[in-house]
């Protein structure tokens, strides 16, 4: 069995993907710029895991030729400012590619590699994460309840103490206070981390939410015929959420704050408040439309993670896809977003060992 190379393999998401694959006896190469950290994690994993120093900016084609992986899993964000260099290197090397991108333009534009991927006989899958990997799995599960699915309101609120990655923080800060691109159901101009509202979660209570930019805003209306969609995210602690909301107004007013440059400082400052929060977070999806008798119908689905297990949720699509590819069951060649590639049943089965539950209302 050829190995799975995980770029950023010792990071917040990469280390979880590496551990899950190693438990399935899939050979793993933990790759990153820091070879010592990669080697330390690989030694902890055992099961034929190895660690290597790889800088995706230089020497990636040579590393692919040397390692000969079945698939590369790219966790190196932020994807909001990334290009397709890693995916293109994989296609050129005849290697399957999967990423955890959440950048709207990045994921929706991955199709530009479709012709090259088909010619190389490889699958290039972008957005193998909570959005749109899990969100599309939930819609696939419930869409048959509707004769017409009109609207989706959904979002994510992580626990304050749950581990947060620097790349994810940088990704969010790229659009805080910035105008969001139009999407179905949008009324007037929407700005990142504005549109404040509250969301109730089972076992978590009410949390502040604000508008965010994700690829689902384009992908899900096209796939499911939605006429209205809204995605939001929220911080558990109201003071931190509202503080970021305040910064969004400064950015919107035109002040050159350059928030992404200060991501490390802002993340460190946020961590100082961990004592006031929990390690419990959740995701909600509120679907509405008409049933098969023409009556209004609404379905509410929640997933709630406790004890800091929330960061496992975004890793599942990459784990499922990488394991299948390594075992010789690759998706059809071509480049596309991760829509409908992992069923909700398979998703939840992967999360079964953790303190994660789903709720329906």
Per-residue pLDDT tens over the stretch 313-335: 999 999 999 999 999 999 999 99
Q: Which two tokens stand for residue 338?
A: 């991760």
Q: Does residue 150 register a pLDDT over 80? A: yes
pLDDT digits (tens, 9 = 90+) for 266-318: 999 999 999 999 999 999 999 999 999 999 999 999 999 999 999 999 999 99
Q: Residues 223-261, buried b or exposed e (16+ Cβ, 10 A)?
A: bbebeebbbbbbbbbeebbebbbebbeebbeeeeeebbe
Tell me the CATH class for 4-130+312-342. Answer: alpha beta
Map out the domains of the chain as residue ranges. 4-130+312-342, 133-305
pLDDT digits (tens, 9 = 90+) for 173-190: 999 999 999 999 999 999
pLDDT digits (tens, 9 = 90+) for 14-50: 999 999 999 999 999 999 999 999 999 999 998 789 9
pLDDT digits (tens, 9 = 90+) for 252-273: 999 999 999 999 999 999 999 9
Q: Which two tokens stand for residue 85?
A: 């260099």
Q: Which two tokens stand for residue 16?
A: 């979880």
What's the CATH code, domain 133-305?
3.30.360.10
Residues with Cβ within 8 Å of 84's Cβ and at least 6 positions away in sequence, in order, are 106, 110, 112, 113
Q: What is the pTM of this model?
A: 0.95
pLDDT digits (tens, 9 = 90+) for 196-247: 999 999 999 999 999 999 999 999 999 999 999 999 999 999 999 999 999 9
Write the DSSP string, 27-93: -EEEEES-HHHHHHHHHHH-TT-EEEE-BTTBSHHHHHHHH--SEEEE----GGG--SHHHHHHHHH
Secondary structure E strands in the chain: 4-7, 28-32, 50-53, 71-74, 96-99, 123-126, 148-157, 197-201, 205-211, 228-233, 281-290, 296-305, 334-337, 356-360
């Amino acid at each position: 069995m050829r190995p799975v190379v995980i770029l950023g393999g010792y990071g917040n998401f990469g280390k979880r993907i590496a551990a899950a694959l190693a438990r399935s006896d899939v050979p793993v190469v933990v790759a990153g710029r820091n070879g010592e950290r990669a080697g330390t994690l690989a030694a902890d994993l055992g099961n034929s895991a190895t660690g290597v120093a790889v800088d995706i900016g230089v020497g990636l084609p040579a590393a692919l030729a040397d390692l000969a992986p079945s698939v590369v899993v790219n966790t190196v964000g932020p994807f909001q400012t990334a290009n397709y260099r890693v995916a293109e290197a994989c296609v050129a090397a005849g290697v399957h590619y999967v990423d955890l991108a959440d950048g709207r333009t990045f994921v929706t534009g991955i199709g530009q590699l479709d012709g090259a991927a088909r010619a190389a006989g490889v699958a290039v899958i972008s957005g193998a994460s909570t959005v749109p990997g899990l969100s599309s799995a939930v819609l696939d599960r419930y869409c048959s309840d509707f004769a017409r699915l009109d609207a989706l309101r959904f979002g994510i609120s992580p626990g304050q103490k749950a581990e947060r990655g620097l790349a994810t923080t940088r990704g969010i800060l790229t659009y805080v206070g910035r105008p969001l691109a139009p999407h179905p159901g949008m009324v007037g101009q929407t700005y990142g981390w504005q549109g404040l509202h509250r969301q109730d979660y089972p076992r978590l209570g009410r949390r502040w939410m604000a508008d965010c930019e994700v690829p689902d805003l384009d992908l899900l209306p096209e796939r499911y015929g939605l006429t209205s969609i809204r995605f939001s995210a929220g911080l558990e602690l109201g003071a931190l959420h509202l503080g970021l909301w305040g910064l969004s107004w400064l950015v919107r007013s035109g002040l050159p704050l350059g928030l992404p440059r200060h991501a490390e400082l802002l993340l460190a400052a946020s961590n100082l408040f961990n004592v006031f929060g929990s390690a419990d977070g959740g995701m909600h999806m509120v679907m509405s439309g008409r049933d098969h008798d023409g009556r209004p119908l609404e379905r509410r689905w929640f997933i709630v993670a406790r004890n800091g297990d929330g960061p496992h949720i975004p890793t599942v699509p990459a784990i499922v896809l990488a394991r299948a590819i390594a075992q010789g069951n690759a998706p059809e060649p071509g480049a596309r977003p991760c829509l409908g590639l992992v069923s909700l049943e398979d998703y939840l089965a992967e999360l079964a060992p953790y303190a994660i539950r789903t709720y329906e209302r």
